[in-house]
Structure 1
Amino acid sequence: MEQREAAATGEPCMRVDAVAKATGRARYTDDYVMAGMCYARYVRSPIAHGYASKIDCTEAKALNGVLAVFTWEDVPEIPFATAGHAWTLDAGKRDVADRLLLTRHVRHYGDGVAIVVARDELTAEKAALLVKVEWEELPVITTPHAALAEDAVAIHPSGNTLKYSEIMAGDPVKVIADAEHQVSGHYQTPVIQHCHMEGVTSFAWMEEDARITIVSSTQIPHIVRRVVAQALDIAWSRIRVIKPYVGGGFGNKQDVLEEPMAAFLTLKLGGIPVKVMLSREECFTATRTRHAFTIDGQLGISRDGILKGYMLDVLSNTGAYASHGHSIAAAGGNKIPYLYPRIAFGYRATTCYTNLPSAGAMRGYGAPQVVFALEAMLDDAAAELGIDPVEIRLRNAAREGDLNPVNQKVILSAGLPECLIQGREIFEWDKRKEACQGQQGNLRRGVGVACFSYTSNTWPVGVEISGARLLLNQDGTINVQSGATEIGQGADTVFSQMVAETVGVLVSSVRVISTQDTDVTPFDPGAFASRQSYVAAPALRQAALQMREKILHHAALMLHQSAMNLTLNRGDVVLTERPNAPLLSVADIAMDAFYHPERGGQLSAEASVKTTTNPPAFGCTFVDLTVDVDLCKITINRILNMHDSGHILNPVLAEGQVHGGMGMGIGWSIFEEMIIDEKTGVVRNPNLLDYKMPTMLDLPELECGFVDTHEPQSAYGHKSLGEPPIIPVAAAIRNAVRMATGVAINTLPLTPKRLFSEFREAGLI
């Protein structure tokens, strides 16, 4: 059967940016070069905590090609926040402003005390090495428990506790104590890095009207504009941010990273273009990481597997500066009550400063850490009660009509039971589980399962707003400008499908302009919280409906018909009762609107919408693995992710998103950790050789499936998908290892050295 070109959501179509990226025509930040571009290089701290007591820049300034050297004495004394959150009018809810452009008081290995600007990169690097700094060292704190000790040195004037919060629904302590069976555990997750292919890079110059333009690889161009202006104490409108193609971010670029410095340098140097580009080593030490969590959990359950309540006590390590800070720990607690909602729920979280590299947003935003603990406890309960792990989850899984126990919101779409049922059949769970019984040898096989829930934006914690603008071109194509940011996740493609479906044209007739420019692009906070397709959809739909109405109105003028009798079908105007008999093409209408001597004009439409709904997505991971006990090695034989993300907008893109998340989840589970010296705070593996991130050859075949539900609060029936695939992977792998070996390992990652210590303690080796 001949496949027709896509004209709606739910239909597979090729990514709109596929050819540009595959052929190398897509232009990223580093592809843009300006005449007279100068380059900056930081002078960074070789210690994790202390003061720069003396600095000598004489030799660096004397080097031929050096334009300037700036130290902490030269930057504005304006603390600013870097987290990529929408601004709030409530001062008490704003991100913590604890960072300066350069600092004398260094708080992590690699903190910046000075910066050199030179005519070329090599000269800048040489000059940075010539800056002499004398250091006054302070005690280094790398763990939350050390940070919270009574005699701990204060990392910030406010102390080492960033924030504490708790969420309570019912009386979880009493409910757990009264339950027929209790499970408890202590869980730890590691510091890891995002390792996006494109590093952190930006450059800035000053326009003739003293406005500063910044080109940056960022997930949040409109937020960058605001934060840069705040850091430099200038009007927001004096900053313009341009975002070209982005080579991955995964949350690291949901922080405002080097853009304020680039703007400061061009401001100080008379407007010349200055580029601030970090090396891969600097990305490890001076950008952001995933928060390490320490979690103590308790769970109460009946003997027949009905969950009564659970409580999690979380200690989150935010590192040297707040960045997203306590938002990560708080979000982890807010996203999971949807999962098993018919319970008493308790969640207490403390976030503290340490002398580690700053932690920030990373795919999953606290949920992978929290789900790891919850799903480990539930699996341990299933084993102790003799209940099948899939069955115990089916007995407790969210269903349509359930209430979130914390916010009392009704769950209007919940495909988690179907994910478990269909996944169990596709995965052949019963057969595989049976094969894991009674093992005694060196090679031991296990199967595991874990579930998740995850919301579709940040409401009501954050303001959710998105804008869209549509312009009809002379040839009948439609240009779409959206503040929502394409960073590789496929947003531009599904936006094209949304507009095409609503207007009534083919996807090939819609062009989403991927390069954002804050001077002209409608406002949207950016790409984070798995929000883009959900929050951008209402604005795109409203604008598309306006465009459709204008096209039909003009067609009615041309045809001397009532617009009520007309409709659009795949780019043609037809009579409603004769949909297969084209009367005019959209191109015909566009030409008439532009060039008829009397009627018409360029047809355009614009909308900006605030979203106040936030439905949860659900899903689960099944894994079959083999543990080599002697070699302390895990081999994944099969892994399957099942998702309820509502109506799937593009099946091919959705599969790609899930595969990417699964790969990251496997990396977090059994490969990746930043090795940081506990005494000195020095990062020992800040590169892609020593940091063991899995490649394609290290991953098994990745499988996924979707339960197609319809979310009634959504403009196109869909829910979040970007972050969820990573969330349950680690817990499923941990649970499979427990089934295979009988050893419950509650500390990630499950590397050979971790398995060795756990197996030796358990007496297996």
Structure 2
Amino acid sequence: MENKIVGHSTTRWDAMAKVTGKAKFTGDYFFKNLLHGKYLRSTIAHGYVKEYDLSEAEKVEGVIKILLPEDVPQNFYSTAGHPWSLNPDKRDIQDRSVLTRNVRQYGEEIGAVIATTELAAITALEKIKVIYDEYPVYLTPKESMADGARRIHAERENIIANTCVSNGDIEKGLKEADYVIEESFSTPVQQHAHMENQIAIAYLDEDQRWTCISSTQIPHICRRVIGQALGVRWSTIRVKKPFIGGGFGNKQDITIEPLAVAMSMACGGRPVQINITREESLAYTRTRHAIDYTFKVGVKKDGTITAIDCEAISNQGAYASHGHSVGGKGGGFINALYKTENIRYAAKTVYTNIGVAGAMRGYGIPQVMYALEAVMEDVARKIGMDSIEFRIKNKVPEGTYNELTRINIFHNKLDLCLKKGKEQFKWDQKLALSKQHKSGPKRRGVGVASFSYGSGTYPFGLEVAGARIILIQDGSFKLLVGATEIGQGSDTVFSQMVAETIGVPAKHIITEALTDTDIAPFDTGSYASRQSYITGFAVKEAAEEMRMKILTLASRVHDLEISTIDIVDSNIVFKHNQLLVTTLADLAMISFYDQSFGKALVAESAVNIHQNSYAYGATFAEVEVDIETGEIDVLSVLNVHDSGEIINPQTAEGQVHGGMVMGLALGLSEGLRYSKEGKPLNNNLLDYKMPTTMDMPDLEVAFVIDKDPIGPYGNKSLGENPLCSPAGAIRNAVLDATGVAINHIPLATQTVYEQMKQAKLRD
């Protein structure tokens, strides 16, 4: 039977609240006697604080307390937003404390000021004098891994992890090849630049527990990390997540919340707010890992890939955070995109003295897909094969077992994505047109890049979720989930799932912006494009239970067999003729108030998902390159996605648009830069080159809609997928336009200018 709600566009329930300014974000919460906390940050990138002089700062009017590392608990913990593991060997590296004298990056959190106003706190910070012992600064893994390099963390080697996964015989595969193409690539430090900076308010509540209101993606994990950092029982912490202004993975790290609670503790439970600046958020929270890749690809003349060998070195920055789970995961996605009997993926993750890398939308896959799709483009050109046909030929067949991720690939429509994209993008026409623009100062080209992406983290991570549905007296429903809405539209999608399953209009499902760890079912949070897939299973299961409870009550009240009745548009009807038995509203009143049948209906589900589905897609791009200036003009770009059933096409298209822009920015302009002393140089919105609408062409989106056999509604991941392939498509289009392969992104104007000059395309 065709779906009425799932698969159709529905206006987001929170749209009106946001556009009218009624949505309540963390910064909108008002407290009497609110105090303000500010970090004291180091002015060196590597060293040790020998001495603080607080004498002048303490004189500033409004200063309540100045906290040094010895004034707060010194428990080591990890800020990474992963579920807790019962196996100590699989836990995130616990390498930091709330405040420290050990400086490992510029802007290290070496102290804090609490004051009655932000101005007073900032004024006091400027008056604190700090004396350091300074150590050598290592900006790159190469420097950090060099013989004689000082350990950044005394108790650990600078190489955090060094792993290798493989299948087949890589040397044999390379020997069997007619050609072996070897190339190196690098990707930059990218920052999330979400609209709302990190902000948290902490206070001692009426029940004598510590409440933290925070713009976090992971409320339940946040509670645990605060407890670990401060050495208190997790149950003494309550976390509330209201409306949130984006996160993109940066708020999957618990960065400011432990200090906010520690500040409140130091002030007798008074509410304390930490609201960091844009400059702090860009430089001192989390970033995308800069990763260097070296690929060797063996290929036969007919396009058969005989081997893929990849080495990756990931720049982790000063603390482990999500660490090796980012740089180390690429192999299984290479193996999901291209079929080959022989693959090896070796990865190192290395401490350095730059800003900490963590989770960022795509979680390492945009980096590896950029490098992979660049080398595969060069492979196709080497054997004289069409770029699209080469990718279709080497698609991983459905039914393949991925040896590296231990996942069966039941559903892969990449070939349909490439064929649909070729037609919709008018690839052949644009390719022919570009051949007329291969001389002169402005040259045109087209490029394509594809990707694979997972739906959640299984089998490497715990995938649990919960949902609760409550029938209300008028026949509406309250839906509670522990998964967090951070702007992606998941709450609206969950409402559609509930409405479709029960048989009511989507507007009859009431959701909640606030995620409260005391109330919401347990869920690990918003990351890994897991929401509609993992939490979707919990929502569907709870909705099915509620539907059965409603039909059971109706059958008892009206003395009917359950098998003869159905729920359609909030009415209980006979299946065979659709005649009305009763309305859901009337039945709801009976469930609450009838002397005989009264019993409030609540359905709850908690799931532990042991499966995963790969999503696929491709980007098609057309560019014009000015070889005299190095400027790249993106003329047109199209993303085509295989994400199974699209629950809400309107919301999905918006997600793809946002991801495409982030992917194009990764390829063209964005990147945090550091001085040789480790100081961030462009941590502001003027110098950090985020694209604006004026920099982007019209963004085209298409979907290959075909139900995944595993997903709760035939759906697969989508949220992070759109930014995995644009950078590669742009690089390949520039190659097509100029004949110059630029393997180090971003393809900023200066970089392209220098490459054109080196290739002697200009004077």
Using the size of structure 1 for normalisation, the TM-score is 0.98
Is the Cα–Cα contact under 8 Å of residues 398 and 411 in structure 2 kept in the other structure?
A: yes
Is the Cα–Cα contact under 8 Å of residues 341 and 402 in structure 1 kept in the other structure?
A: no
Within the candidate set 67, 71, 75, 1:70 is matched to: 67
Deviation at 1:341, TM superposition (A): 2.7
Q: Which residue of 1 aligns with 2:137?
A: 140
Q: Which residue of 1 aligns with 2:306?
A: 308
The amino acid of 2:387's aligned partner reads: P
Moved more, 352-361 or 537-546: 537-546
- Indicate whether 1:755 and 2:752 are aligned: yes
| Secondary structure class of the residue paired with 2:56 | helix
Give me the whole-angstrom Cα distance separating, in 2, the residues matched to 1:6 and 1:14. 17
Give me the whole-angstrom Cα distance separating, in 2, the residues matched to 1:611 and 1:267. 38
Q: Which residue of 2 aligns with 1:321?
A: 319
Superposition map of 1:548-627 within 5 A? 548-579=547-578, 581-627=579-625
Give me the whole-angstrom Cα distance separating, in 1, the residues matched to 2:625 and 2:680. 30
Taking every aligned residue pair, what percent have the same amino acid on both sides? 45
The amino acid of 1:452's aligned partner reads: F
The amino acid of 1:733's aligned partner reads: I
Q: Which residue of 2 aligns with 1:676?
A: 674
- Superposed CA RMSD in Å reads 1.3
Give me the whole-angstrom Cα distance separating, in 2, the residues matched to 1:132 and 1:42. 14
- Indicate whether 1:241 and 2:225 are aligned: no
State the number of aligned residues: 759
Within the candidate set 196, 199, 202, 2:197 is matched to: 199
| Secondary structure class of the residue paired with 2:321 | coil
- Indicate whether 1:434 and 2:432 are aligned: yes
Give me the whole-angstrom Cα distance separating, in 2, the residues matched to 1:332 and 1:254. 20
- Structure 1 residues 584, 403: closer, same or farther in 2, change over 3 A? same
Q: Which residue of 1 aligns with 2:330?
A: 332
Q: Deviations over 1:332-387 (max 9, x none)?
A: 23333111133311100000010001010001100111111111111001112111
- Indicate whether 1:739 and 2:736 are aligned: yes
* Unaligned ranges ≥5, structure 1: none
- Structure 1 residues 415, 565: closer, same or farther in 2, change over 3 A? same
Q: Which residue of 2 aligns with 1:707?
A: 704
- Structure 1 residues 227, 306: closer, same or farther in 2, change over 3 A? same
Give me the whole-angstrom Cα distance separating, in 2, the residues matched to 1:750 and 1:538. 41
Superposition map of 1:47-86 within 5 A? 47-86=44-83
- Indicate whether 1:265 and 2:244 are aligned: no
Deviation at 1:582, TM superposition (A): 2.7
Deviation at 1:33, TM superposition (A): 1.3
Is the Cα–Cα contact under 8 Å of residues 196 and 245 in structure 2 kept in the other structure?
A: yes
Q: Deviations over 1:224-243 (max 9, x none)?
A: 00000001111111110000
Give me the whole-angstrom Cα distance separating, in 2, the residues matched to 1:463 and 1:34. 37
Deviation at 1:561, TM superposition (A): 2.0
The amino acid of 2:183's aligned partner reads: G
Q: Which residue of 2 aligns with 1:460?
A: 459
| Secondary structure class of the residue paired with 2:106 | coil
Give me the whole-angstrom Cα distance separating, in 2, the residues matched to 1:550 and 1:208. 37
The amino acid of 2:710's aligned partner reads: Q
Give me the whole-angstrom Cα distance separating, in 2, the residues matched to 1:458 and 1:154. 32
Q: Which residue of 2 aligns with 1:514?
A: 513
Give me the whole-angstrom Cα distance separating, in 2, the residues matched to 1:740 and 1:355. 38
Q: Which residue of 2 aligns with 1:129?
A: 126
Give me the whole-angstrom Cα distance separating, in 2, the residues matched to 1:725 and 1:219. 20
Q: Which residue of 1 aligns with 2:382?
A: 384
Q: Which residue of 2 aligns with 1:404?
A: 402
Give me the whole-angstrom Cα distance separating, in 2, the residues matched to 1:16 and 1:582. 29
Deviation at 1:399, TM superposition (A): 2.6
Q: Which residue of 1 aligns with 2:250?
A: 252
| Secondary structure class of the residue paired with 2:409 | coil
Q: Deviations over 1:127-149 (max 9, x none)?
A: 11111111221111101100000
| Secondary structure class of the residue paired with 2:50 | strand
Q: Deviations over 1:188-246 (max 9, x none)?
A: 10001100000000010012443100000010000000000001111111110000011
Give me the whole-angstrom Cα distance separating, in 1, the residues matched to 2:71 and 2:180. 58
| Secondary structure class of the residue paired with 2:71 | coil
Is the Cα–Cα contact under 8 Å of residues 224 and 256 in structure 1 kept in the other structure?
A: yes
Give me the whole-angstrom Cα distance separating, in 1, the residues matched to 2:710 and 2:248. 27
Q: Which residue of 2 aligns with 1:470?
A: 469
Give me the whole-angstrom Cα distance separating, in 1, the residues matched to 2:322 and 2:664. 24
The amino acid of 1:763's aligned partner reads: K
Give me the whole-angstrom Cα distance separating, in 2, the residues matched to 1:336 and 1:650. 29
The amino acid of 1:397's aligned partner reads: K
Is the Cα–Cα contact under 8 Å of residues 491 and 511 in structure 2 kept in the other structure?
A: yes
Within the candidate set 274, 292, 295, 2:293 is matched to: 295
Is the Cα–Cα contact under 8 Å of residues 336 and 367 in structure 1 kept in the other structure?
A: no
- Indicate whether 1:500 and 2:513 are aligned: no
Superposition map of 1:708-723 within 5 A? 708-723=705-720
Deviation at 1:460, TM superposition (A): 1.1
* Unaligned ranges ≥5, structure 2: none
- Indicate whether 1:374 and 2:367 are aligned: no
The amino acid of 2:567's aligned partner reads: L
Deviation at 1:550, TM superposition (A): 1.3
Is the Cα–Cα contact under 8 Å of residues 341 and 404 in structure 1 kept in the other structure?
A: no
Deviation at 1:331, TM superposition (A): 2.1
- Indicate whether 1:484 and 2:448 are aligned: no
Moved more, 458-467 or 395-404: 395-404
Deviation at 1:455, TM superposition (A): 0.5
| Secondary structure class of the residue paired with 1:587 | helix
Q: Which residue of 2 aligns with 1:10?
A: 7
- Indicate whether 1:544 and 2:516 are aligned: no
Deviation at 1:6, TM superposition (A): 9.0
| Secondary structure class of the residue paired with 2:345 | strand
Using the size of structure 2 for normalisation, the TM-score is 0.98
Give me the whole-angstrom Cα distance separating, in 2, the residues matched to 1:745 and 1:588. 67
Q: Which residue of 2 aligns with 1:419?
A: 417
Within the candidate set 378, 393, 396, 1:395 is matched to: 393
Deviation at 1:701, TM superposition (A): 0.4
Give me the whole-angstrom Cα distance separating, in 1, the residues matched to 2:28 and 2:704. 41
Q: Deviations over 1:430-474 (max 9, x none)?
A: 111122226121110000001100010111111100000011111
The amino acid of 2:709's aligned partner reads: P
